[in-house]
Amino acid sequence: MQPPGAVDSARAWVMVAAAFAGMFVSFGIAYSFGAFLEPMAEEFGSSRGTTSAFFALTSLTYFGLGALSGVAVDRYGPRRVLLVGGIALGVGLAATSQAGELWVGLVTYGLGVGIAVACAYVPMVAVVSGWFERRRTLAIGVAVTGIGLGTLTVAPLAAALIGELGWRDTHLVLGSAGAVVLVVCALVVTRPPVQAGPAALTLRQAVRDRDYRRLYLASGLMAVALFVPFVHLPGYAQDAGVDPVAAAALVGVIGAASIAGRLLLGLVAARTGALRAFQGCFLTMAASFLLWGLGGGYGVLLAFAVVLGVGYGGFVAIGPAVVAERFGTTRLGGLLGVLYTSAGLGSAVGAPLAGVAVDTSGSYTPAIAGCLALGLAGYLAVLSVGRT
């Protein structure tokens, strides 16, 4: 019988539960922003492109700070890191709910939610990895399903709350609830009981590695396209006559499908290898934009959300395994954190540019076509990984 503090023990699964809960609330709130886009743009009298900057700053913050939070969890432990995330989320959204000008809300929302996600994602993936040996892939997969379930639940919930309370009070409610969850998670988590051996590559060596740079480029290109629907798909659906709650639920469908992607593509990865499955995720995400470009009714939009979500779920779940296989596990937090800055840069560019394209052309077609082109470019880049 294993001692309670051993790897692969019952205590280790408590860490998975804490990671799941932290990702559920932080990503659920971050990815619900599409429901806030229209009412905030209307109140501040701003364009979609300008208001999309909220999401851009948020994603840039949480992906950019992932490199720091991954190192911080090694130095200070997960408890302090999660406490910082909980405080930032509560204070940030409380301040956003009181913002009288767009730029104030931009700063408070972007920093509050961005710091919360940065503290809940990369550090907790690293913690879960350290608590497991034999079942590491399964444990990480279960933990990151919190992202999908959070997106599925919080996006339509936010839309319903906005209809009842308005966007300001909804920010206050979500911020308070999310902060409580992150603080509880912080009280539960502890450092892994054992230290891993030396990594195959240090972070400095990894960033000089050709394959690491190819992964960085591929992730950045795909991220430009990937995060556009999280912000603009609800608005597109509303313009097509879809009810606001049903429109916001499309983001939730992406999250639900991502859960299936994590499980199904994880099984595929066990047979084909992590890298090949990871490449398949890129192709799936890129091809999904063909569905969005078809137009049509709500059924086509649902199909788009499902296909994109499946590829996105596999991308999130398999990515850490690809990095661990090729560059070692000892400094996995730092390696993932630096890699995810590419996604931060991509997501910061994609949503605002798409908003500008919609405002300028009066149509979503140029934005969708751009997403398709960039998704295919990301797929071609990841295909080069492992080749001389």
Q: What is the residue-wise DSSP string for 311-331?
A: HHHHHHHHHHHHHHHHH-STT
Report mean pLDDT in 10-residue bins for the chain, 388 residues: 70 94 93 80 75 68 79 84 95 91 81 90 84 75 84 87 93 96 95 60 78 93 91 88 87 84 78 87 95 87 94 86 76 79 82 87 91 95 86
Structure-token pair, residue 259: 């859960």
- Residue labelled with tokens 């709130």: 29
Distance CA 95, CA 92 (A): 5
Q: How many Cβ atoms are within 10 Å of 73's Cβ, its own excluded?
A: 27
Give residue 95's pLDDT: 94
pLDDT at 198: 45
In DSSP notation, 91-143 reads HHHHHHHT-SSHHHHHHHHHHHHHHHHHHHSHHHHHHHHHH-STTHHHHHHHH
pLDDT of residue 207: 78
Supply the Cα-derived Rg of the chain in whole angstroms.
Answer: 20
CA 342, CA 221: separation in Å to the nearest integer?
A: 8
Q: Name the DSSP class of 297.
A: S
pLDDT of residue 41: 76
Closest by Cα among 182, 237, 222, 250 to 32 = 250
φ/ψ of 38, rounded to 5, equals: -65, -50
Element holding 305 (H helix, E strand): helix 298-327
Cβ atoms within 10 Å, residue 171: 30
> Beta-carbon neighbour count of residue 207 at 10 Å?
15
Task: Give the end-to-end CA distance of the chain in Å, rounded to a whole number.
Answer: 47
Amino acid letter, 281: C
Cα gap 78→185, rounded to integer Å: 10
